[in-house]
Structures are given as structure tokens and as C-alpha cells.
Amino acid sequence: MRQMRRFPLLAGLFAAAVLVLPPLSQACSRSDTLFYETFLDVSCLQQPLVNTTLDAQGGLRLTTNGTPVVAAWDTDADFANGVTHQGVSFPPVGVGTVARLGSGPAATLSLPTTLLPLTPDPANPILGPTSSAALDSDSVDDPALAKVGSTYVMWYSGMPEEGGPPAIFIATSTNGTTWTRGNGGAPVVQGTPLSFDQDGVFGPDVVYDPADPATPYRMWYSGRAGVFGAIGYATSTDGISWTKYPGAGQLPLAVLTHGPAGSADSFSAADPSVLKDGSTWKMWYTGDDSSKKRVAYATSTDGITWAKGGKVIAPEDPGVSANIAFGAFAPTVWKAGSTYSMLLTGRKLVGQGVFQTKVMGTTSSDGVNWAGPSPVLNPSGSNQNFDYSNLNGPDVLQDPGTPAPYKLYYSGNTIDANGNFHTRIGLATSSNGNSFNKVNGAQTGGSTLDIGTLGTAFDGRQASGPSVAAPAGASTKFVGFYWGTRGRDFKPRLGEATSTDGSAWTKVPVSAPDGGALFGLGNPAAFDNGGQRDPGVLDDSATYHLFFTGLSSGGTQSIGYASTPEDATTKLPDNSSWSARNQVLAGDGSGFDASGVAHPSVLKDGAIYVMYYTGLDANGVAKIGRATTNAPSGSYTRAPTAVPDVGTGTEFDGTSVKDPVVVKVGAGDYRMLYTGVETLFGTKIERVGYATSNDGIAWTKRGVVLDPSMSAYASDESGIEPTGLVVDGSTLHVWTSGVDRSGRTRGGHASTAYPTPVTPQPGIPSGWATYQLGDATTTNRDFKQIARASTGSGVTLWVSFLQPYSANGDEFWSDYFPVTVSGPSEALNFLLTVHGVRWQARLSAPADAPVLDKVELTHAPVSFSPTGSATTTAIGPSSGLVVTAWRTLTATMSMFAPSGGGSGSANIRLLDAATGQQVASTPLTSGTTTLDLSGIPAASHQALTAAFDLQSADGTATPRVSSLTVTYDSATAPPPPLPPSLSFLATPKTIVFGKSAVLSGNLTRGGVPQLGQPVTLAAQPIGAPTFTPLPTATTDTAGNFSALVKPTKRTTYRAGFGGLFPTTVVLVKHRITLKGKRASGKVYLNGTVGPKHVRRVVLIQQKKGSRWVTIARVKTTRRSTFKLVRKAPAKRALFRAKIGADREHLANLSRSVRA
């Protein structure tokens, strides 16, 4: 989504992955007039490349040839202290929550053992916010507009109040300003489980074409799954019912995926803006490398298979405005005449770690090279407006013939002092598409489309884990108290729920005016006017004592108290009898709890009530305090020092310890769960720690028992805090609040057998450790490969790299992404300007005993091959077009010297793609080189290839060709000629040996005779292995052709033209002659046979009556003659000779003779 995140997160630490295979596509894009290649992959280069390769963010360069070395983490010293690289020691990064076992090379990392082996509830989260009635009640964002007839249609992204996955909705309007939700307010597109968009869909762009009745609506949209994002495609006939590509009943597939590690879109491709330009679909989209966002470009012939063209607007571009120094994204593009116009979102740093986004504008003559963006629309000047803090997601609707021919819809938000906000959609208009004025809409804060109706439930936005009591004899075993917030005012309130097993909970609504909460909020001067949270319940003497954190209107935290008796029958709280709420403990203005107190946990120890609580000092550091009283309502006497205190800087609770949950399970046996806070690069990581005590005063820390899950979009992805602890017979129950990436909480549950073990046992659900090699002070390296040696299915390896644009002490590390998923090693594809790499081992599934034995990171100094070359595949327009004129070649080249020195050279040669003939060449200079191609005759050179020759002078630098653009004119290719029709026959089809036959036929195309066309002829006598060519025939004005042939045996003849090869067969009879005479009472008969046969049987027949009767069999002589002399019949008679058939000839009869 073109989203503005609620809280800054170390997203890579807490993200799991769904790997999506990229579609088959090419990295070079082509349109009717332009070929554009930024060398993102080798799909548009002929193989093999010769000593050349592609840079991680695009560009063709020489291969590296540095001698690789291996950095290994293998010994206990490596795992404990890290490694040394270039004389710099790189210790582990942050706190590791795994155990080091063994020594020397036998050392391993594994999940630690614990005295409290907890098993998370598979039903987690077990307590969540009340479901939203409207699924777009938290935000409306990413508008995409079309005008269908006289109706304005908007598709937009929406998220529900409880923070579920984003979905795409539809609204309509008759005037473009007053909108009505369509489809009953339900989404029209949602994520699909197990697919690239399983975690939500957002950022749509819709192209409406009424001339296309089959698919008048085409949508490209953003989808996310785990740490990665991609762009999907769907079609519709009505704009409401959509079919995702590739079709109904199939899992949807992305049509444009994220790029490889190190590329401009290595984590996400999102926010598409699509238009059809001639016969080419063009897309501009957000490429996200997890640190900064850029506008990238792609083209397609069908809108499904896309060819990436690389980034076109980026924060690292020379001379960019500060307004896009930290991001350029969410583009919307339209074309008027020959000019492309773009609006996009720019992100800038306004100070104190605060960023702001606004709408920027720019233009281009080709859609690739854009002028420097400048502000078009700024945040408003009043926090009463919906768009005071940020603007985002612009979309322009061209609406000619109206008073506002350009309508700009955008999203905006206004962030309150606590970081809360709703995103809404606004409108600005323009008469020329350049200067826009905001329209004061009728919705909240001047918006045009407001969020969906918010619920009334006090916990519609989030719900914490419960603090739990198990009253004896209760009708329901567990009674829990929790806190929640709603989107109406974001203020926390307390709620009640019950459960029979600690896993499935039923909420108990109490105060209808307060959305079901236990209490209303105090008056403006009250200690709890700003909210109530962090309940801690004590069931004692048939009374529920409820302690909680009260927030004043200014946010000061103190501890409040209320009580109610048990219901005599159910033993559940009597919610009609709650006492007035009173403040029982506040910050004392000095010491560890000077600024505030919070999160009470109270137990009764003999006759004394003991409260454990979080104390905040003047610097915001949290520690755990202890106070006692004789009565639950106070007054409390606090201990002067924290119990326990924060840990050291290398421990998981080195920043703060807070949120105590304490129980006494037996004499001298006190148990505490608490939140340990680590601050890592400005981000706080919360884990559940465990401590024990024999007096409730001096505590022994026992380490982490629950880590954040780090599963993307999970309810406990980024933090976990304890809320409840109860021993129920043979089971010890733990309840927690999980913190997701938006900062919302949901309740969780875990359990273990009781009594708990007296010696540490396996059972920590998960843990991780992070290591580093290199930083901004070390030289850049060629990081080549990472490999692991491990056992157990619960070991995964994740990697982050230091972004090359890190400078001046500001380090930007990429999010973590998974490696070695399909095997123990994986090649790395980082920029050669990368100075540092971090790897993180994540261990889970303790039952499978996950163990990491070793990690090896292969790297090398950066040096380059002396020479290399590469040649593109064919350059030309899209399919169905022909080049009518070649125009220009433009190549952008820089001398890439990662270590700061060196030189080289580059040359480009243009070759005819069919013949290899060189038609042009030029040396490349640093910057842009342009070559005039108008002298290349297009008729004889319809497609070209570009051959690059690269050279490094001393191995320290390489030419890097970052882009190649070839422009041309094109036209629709003439239709292919109709297929020919070729007839062929022989006359006669059977001849006598020695006679001739005529071969003839007719050639037409589409019924039209073809004059003067050559028709090949060939003969294949029986027994010959192949056809033998005959003289070629030529067609006459009627398309006829003929040839005289004289076969000596059975022969097949073939004619040929245009891939057609009809045949005909001429059969050959034996030739047989017969002569006869009568003399001296005898008959003398003789004859010949052709072709020549020796000792061939010939039958002599005499006609008797109506029958022919064989009277003799004779054989031919060496001269193929035969004869017969015999007594003459009484009367003159008719005689004939007959020869039988063989493989090559037919049988035949001579003429009859009288003798």
C-alpha cells in the first residue's frame, strides 16, 4: 500500500518470508519507438557473456577476479566475541537469545535451556479486538479513478480498525466529490492464502476501456507476503467482481515480482501506474530496497508479461531535491500529446528523526528520462485538516469538458502526539495538470472520502493479554481483565473476559456508554482522564481488587484501584458494585520512579499486600519497584530501590525492565515474569524475562522465556509482554500481550507443567543471534557466498547489508531476508560498494533440537578482469511492427571505481541481428553518449544487436554501462502473404516403358494465379533413397507449369514452392512386342521385352474360343528377346505374349498377332 507506517520498526528483524518465483520476463523493455535496457538480468543478452556480468542494481560491467577468502564463525570465541576484519573487531550485533555450547570448532549455537519451558498456545492470539463492522474503518488510501459514462468510480485500499490485512474497495460518485461505497461496503479484491498476496492487497491502478467488451476493467495491484511484495493483475466486466491472473480456481501469480538482493526493488514492487501507449503497456511502480524507495519502469505487450527497465527516479540521483532524498514512490502517470506527466510521493527528513511526505510533479518526453521533481501539493498548515502531516498515493483523473479537467485524488493523514492517525482521501483540481488546488471536502478534516464507520466497542482497535484470577468455586474457571483501545479516540480502557481453559475467552460487556468497558474515563483533571490500561487483578476474601495504570490528560502514568465483591452464586465479579476509582500510587518526583508508575501486580503475602510495579525515571528508563500496604486501597510504602534492576548493556533487559507479573506459589517461592527491553539502533525490542525469589525482595534473573516470533504480520512479531500468571493444579498458565508491526497488541497464552523443573530444561520456543562483518570504516568487498552447517529443521539464516548510500555516520541497513532456504549455501549478489554484511541465525522448534554449527561468508577484494564483452539480443519494436527508420542510440556509462581510483574504456558496436554485419560503432564516454543512426537503412536492417567491449586499465575500475536506449520509427507490419496453393499431377499416370508423361500443376495465392514463379521439380525412382532435382519449371500467366518426363521404372515426382511439396506417381509397364508367321506347317513367334531382362519368363497365349490359353513358357535371352516355334494349328489363330509384374514395373500384354 502507499502506506505511511504507524511506528518506525526494525522490520527486517521481525519478518518471515514467503518466497515467490519471478515470472518469465525480460529485463529490456521495448515500445513502438524505443528500446530500453538497464541490464537488470541477462535475459536480453546473448550467452555466454565474456568476462562481463551485471551489477546488483543494474548495469553491465567487467567481472571481478579478486582472490576469495572465508570469514568463519565456528568457535566459541567467534560466537561470543565475533570476528576481526581488516583490523576491526566486529562483536555480535545486539543481544543474542541463543545458547553457546562447546568450545573451539566444536562450539554451536542452540536454543537455551530454562527453568520455565513454555509452550505457546497454537490458538494464539487468544484475545483480540472486537471485529470491525467496516473493513476500511482505520484507513482509506491509494485511490485509483476511472470515469464510466457519467459516473466516477474509485477503487481504493482500506484497512479495518483492528488492523487486519489491507483490501481493495470500490466507491462511486456523480460529481467526483460526494462518494457512495459500492459492493455493500465489502472489499472487491482481497489477499489469497498461500499466494504472493496472502498478507494483503493494496495500491491498485485500474485501466477502463469500454471498447474492450471482454475485459473492460483491468487492475494491477500490490500484494504482499512476508518480507516481500509484488504486483498482481486482475480483470473484471463490471469493476466489482474481479478474476486474478492466471484465472479462477488457481492461486494468483504475480506479474511483476521483487528483484534480487541488492537491486532497487529487492524487497518489493508495488504501487503500479499503467497506461497503454500505442501497442505497448507501460508501467511505473515503486521499487523498495527496504531502506529507500524509487520509481521504476517496465513495459509489456499484453499487460501480463513485463520487462523491467530499471529505476527512473531515485533518491540517489545526482542533484535531487531534498523532498525525495529519502524516497520517491507511488507514481501516477498520464500522457498528453508527446509529453508524459508524473505525480509521485516524495519523502524528506524534517528533523529529529521525523519524516514527511508530499506530492511531487515531473515531466518526460519518453517516460524514462524525467526532469527533477518539484512540489505540487504540500501538507496543510492546520492540524484540524486530515492532511496536516503527510500526503501520499496520488492519482490523476483526466476529466475533459468539466470545470476541473484534471482531478487529483490523494491520501493524507494527521498524526497526533501519540503517533496515532487515520488516513483519508482528498481531492485537488487543476485546469492544466500542472498547478493543483485542494478542494475542501465535506468529510472529516476536509477529506473527500472518509474512513468507514468506526465501531463503538472500547477494544475495536486492539486488546491486550489478560491479567487473570482463578476464584475458587467460580462458574467459569478464569476471570481476566485486559485493556483495549478504539479508533474513535485511541484512549485505553479496561475490559473483562472469562474462560474455562485459559485459551478460549468470552468478553463480558459492562458499560454500554463506554463501549463495553468496565469504567468510563475520569474527568479532565482526573488521574485516568487519558485512559486506563495494564490491569492487575487480585482475588482475595471474596473481593476482586483491580489495580491499573491511569493516564492523565497529559499522559502522566499513575496506579489506580477499584474493587467489587464476588457474585455470591457465580463467584464472578459483581459488575454493578464496582467502587470508585482512586489513585493509590504516583511517581514520587525522584529516583527510579520519579516520572510515573505503571503496570501493577499485587499479591497478598500473609497479612501484607505487596505491589510490584513499573517505575519511570526522569529519562524514561523503566525499572521494577516494590511497595507494601496493609490494605489493598493503600496507602503504600515503596522500597527505595528497584527490584530487580536493569541488566547490563549486553543483556536482553539492558534498557529497561518493566511490566512485572508476580505470584507466590509456595513458602519461599516467588515467581516473576517481566518485560526486558533492549534498544537496538533506536528500536526497542521487548521480550519476556523470568526471575525467582525466596523472599519477594531479592530476585534472581533466569533469562528470557519468550521472544517475539519474528513472523511477518504475526500478532507478536515485534514484541511480547507478560500480563498474567496463574498456577492451576498441574498447569502453570502465562498470558501475554503480543505487539505487531503496527504497534497494536493482542493477547497470547502459553503454559507448562507444574511443578516446574528444578534444573534447566529445553523449551525456549525461539531465539536469535546476529553477527556482522564490515562497516562504513572498512573497505568495500565482493561478498560472494554464505554457507551454514546446521542440524534440525528449526534453523534459518537471514542476511542484511549496509546500503552503499550510507554516509556521514548515518548507516542504512537493509531489512533481513532469508538465505540458504533450499540448501546449506547460497550465492550473494550485492553491490561491489557494500562495506558490511550482517547475518542472523533464527532458531525455533525446540522439539527438533535446532543447532547451528558454523557460518562461512566468502568475500574477496574488488578487482576486475582486464577485458570483457557482451552482446544484446535483437533490438527492434514490439511484435507486429517493422522499423521504418532508425533514429538514435544513447548509452549511459560511468567509470565504476569502488575503491576510489583506476580507469578503463568502453566501445559499442551495432550489428545487423541477422547477418552480424557491423553498421555503426562509437566509443563510450563517461556520462551520456549519443549516436545518430539515421544513416542505417531500415529496409535492409530490420533488427540490430549492440556489442559492448569493456576494458580495465589496471583492474581497479571498470566501465559500467547503466542504460542503453535505441529509438526508431515503426509502423504496423504488412500482413503476411496468403499461403500458396500448389496443385500437381502426371498425365498419363501409367505409361509403357520408353514412353513419356507430362507433369503439370497450378500455383495460386488466395485464388490468384502466380506468374513467373519458380517451381522446383524432383524425381525419386523406386528404390532410390532421395529425390533427384529436375530442371525448375516456371509458371505462366495462368499460374500453370509443366514438364515432360520419361521414367524407366515406377517413379515419384515432387513439386515444391513456399514450403508446399505435393507429389504424384507415374507407373511404368513392361514393353513387350510379338511377331508371328506361318510356314511349312509351323508357327514362328518372336518378340522383345523392355527394359532389358535376361531369362525372364514370358507366357505365349493362344485364343481358343473366347478364352486365352497359355500354350508355352519361354525365357528371354541375353538380348531380352524370346521366340517359339511349334506345329501350326489347322486354322490361322490369334497369339499374344504376356510378362508379369515386378517391383519396378507393371505386367503387360503384347498386341495379338494372327498366324
Q: What is the CATH number of the domain that holds 1061?
A: 2.60.40.10
* pLDDT tops 90 at residue 1101: yes
What domain range is 1133 assigned to?
1071-1154
Which pLDDT band holds residue 351 (cuts at 50, 70, 90)? confident
**Is 130 part of any domain?**
no
Q: Does 756 lie in the same domain as 664?
A: yes
* pLDDT tops 80 at residue 11: no
Q: Does 709 lie in the same domain as 789?
A: no
Average per-residue pLDDT in the chain? 94
Number of helices (H), then strands (E), in the chain: 1, 84
pLDDT in tens, 754-781: 999 999 999 999 999 999 999 999 999 9
Cα separation, 502 vs 725, whole angstroms: 11
Q: Does 694 lie in the same domain as 614?
A: yes
Q: What is the CATH number of the domain that holds 915?
A: 2.60.120.260
Of 975, 775, 790, which is closest to residue 881 (Cα–Cα)?
975
Q: Does 245 lie in the same domain as 338?
A: yes
Cell numbers of 862, please?
574488488
Q: Does 639 lie in the same domain as 613?
A: yes
CB atoms near residue 463 (< 10 Å): 28
Cell numbers of 449, please?
472520502
pLDDT in tens, 1118-1152: 999 999 999 999 899 999 999 999 999 999 999 99
**Is 125 part of any domain?**
no
Of 56, 84, 88, which is closest to residue 71 (Cα–Cα)?
84
Omega before 125 within 30 of 0, i.e. cis: yes
Per-residue pLDDT at 977: 83
* DSSP codes joined into one string, 758-789: SS-EE---EEEEEEEE--TTSPP-EEEEEEEE
* pLDDT tops 80 at residue 943: yes
* pLDDT tops 80 at residue 13: no
Phi then psi for residue 181, to 5 deg, are -65, 140
CA dihedral angle for residue 596, residue 602, residue 605, residue 609, rounded to 10 degrees:
60
**Is 696 part of any domain?**
yes
* pLDDT tops 70 at residue 3: no
Tally of domains in the chain: 6
Exposure of 1043 in the CB half-sphere (CA atoms within 13 A): 22
Cα separation, 705 vs 690, whole angstroms: 6
Q: How far is CA 37 from the centre of its chain?
A: 22
Per-residue pLDDT at 334: 97
**Is 471 part of any domain?**
yes
Point out the domain boundary residue: 836, 860, 884: 860
**Is 124 part of any domain?**
no
Q: Does 171 lie in the same domain as 26?
A: no
Q: Does 1034 lie in the same domain as 1013?
A: yes
* pLDDT tops 70 at residue 301: yes
* pLDDT tops 60 at residue 524: yes
* pLDDT tops 80 at residue 805: no
Of 1063, 1070, 1069, 1068, which is closest to residue 1020 (Cα–Cα)?
1063
Point out the domain boundary residue: 917, 939, 972: 972
Which pLDDT band holds residue 5 (cuts at 50, 70, 90)? very low
**Is 1 part of any domain?**
no
Q: Does 774 lie in the same domain as 639?
A: no
Contact assessment for residue 1017 and residue 1029, using Cβ atoms and an 8 Å cutoff:
yes
Q: Does 377 lie in the same domain as 261?
A: yes
**Is 968 part of any domain?**
yes
Per-residue pLDDT at 491: 97
* pLDDT tops 50 at residue 146: yes
Please compute the mean of the pLDDT values over residues 171-198 and round it to a whole number.
Answer: 97
Please compute the mean of the pLDDT values over residues 46-60 and round it to a whole number.
Answer: 89
3-state secondary structure of 114: strand
Phi then psi for residue 12, to 5 deg, are -65, -30
* DSSP codes joined into one string, 182-220: -GGG--SB---TTSTTTT-EEEEEEEE-TT-SS-SEEEE
Per-residue pLDDT at 26: 52
Which pLDDT band holds residue 291 (cuts at 50, 70, 90)? confident
* pLDDT tops 90 at residue 989: yes
Per-residue pLDDT at 1: 35
- The amino acid present at 199, given as its one-letter code, is D
Please compute the mean of the pLDDT values over residues 370-396 and round it to a whole number.
Answer: 96
Please compute the mean of the pLDDT values over residues 844-853 and round it to a whole number.
Answer: 96
Phi then psi for residue 213, to 5 deg, are -65, -25
Which pLDDT band holds residue 136 (cuts at 50, 70, 90)? very high
Cα separation, 128 vs 120, whole angstroms: 16
Q: Does 25 lie in the same domain as 168?
A: no
Cα separation, 944 vs 967, whole angstroms: 12
Per-residue pLDDT at 17: 32
Q: Does 747 lie in the same domain as 687?
A: yes
* pLDDT tops 70 at residue 636: yes
Buried b (16+ CB within 10 A) or exposed e, 234-247: bbbeebeebbbbee
Per-residue pLDDT at 25: 46
Point out the domain boundary residue: 1025, 1053, 1069: 1069
Contact assessment for residue 892 and residue 928, using Cβ atoms and an 8 Å cutoff:
yes
Cα separation, 1123 vs 1116, whole angstroms: 8
pLDDT in tens, 641-665: 999 999 998 999 999 999 999 999 9
**Is 1026 part of any domain?**
yes
Please compute the mean of the pLDDT values over residues 499-523 and round it to a whole number.
Answer: 97
Please compute the mean of the pLDDT values over residues 97-108 and round it to a whole number.
Answer: 96
Beta bridge partners of 111: none
Which pLDDT band holds residue 273 (cuts at 50, 70, 90)? very high
Per-residue pLDDT at 807: 75
Which pLDDT band holds residue 27 (cuts at 50, 70, 90)? low
* Sequence-distant (≥ 6) Cβ neighbours of residue 299 within 8 angstroms: 29, 30, 31, 36, 280, 281, 282, 283, 306, 307, 309
Cα separation, 415 vs 866, whole angstroms: 56
Cell numbers of 585, please?
500510587
Cα separation, 952 vs 897, whole angstroms: 10
* Sequence-distant (≥ 6) Cβ neighbours of residue 858 within 8 angstroms: 68, 69, 70, 71, 783, 784, 785, 786, 787
CB atoms near residue 81 (< 10 Å): 13
Longest alpha-carbon distance in the chain: 165
Per-residue pLDDT at 310: 86
Q: Does 721 lie in the same domain as 825?
A: no
Q: What is the CATH number of the domain that holds 236?
A: 2.115.10.20
Total residue length of the chain: 1155
